[in-house]
Amino acid sequence: MKTLVIVAHPDDEVLGMGGTIKKLTKNKNQVKIVIMATGIAARRSTNFKNSSKYDVTKDDQKIIDKQISTIKSHAKKAAKILGVTDIEFLNFPDNEMDTVSNLEITKSVEKIIQKFKPEVVYTHTPFDVNIDHVCCYNAVLTATRPKKNIIVKKVISFEVPSSTEWNFTSVFKPNIFVDISNEITNKIKALECYKTEIEKYPHPRSPKALQSIGNRWGTVSGYSVAEAFSLIRSLED
Contact residues: Zn ion, CB under 5 A:
8-9, 12
For Zn ion, give the closer residue by CB, 8 or 225. 8
Min dist CB 40 to Zn ion, Å, is: 12
For Zn ion, give the closer residue by CB, 16 or 207. 16
CA dist 230 and 141 (Å) reads: 14
Cα separations (Å) of 167 from 64, 78, 161? 28, 27, 11
Min dist CB 130 to Zn ion, Å, is: 5
Min dist CB 95 to Zn ion, Å, is: 9
For Zn ion, give the closer residue by CB, 3 or 123. 123
Min dist CB 203 to Zn ion, Å, is: 14
Cβ 195 vs Cβ 30: under 8 Å: no
For Zn ion, give the closer residue by CB, 9 or 32. 9
Min dist CB 118 to Zn ion, Å, is: 21
Residue number of the CB closest to Zn ion reads: 9
For Zn ion, give the closer residue by CB, 7 or 155. 7
Distance in angstroms between the alpha carbons of the first and the last residue of the chain = 15
Min dist CB 35 to Zn ion, Å, is: 9
Cβ 214 vs Cβ 226: under 8 Å: yes
For Zn ion, give the closer residue by CB, 36 or 218. 36
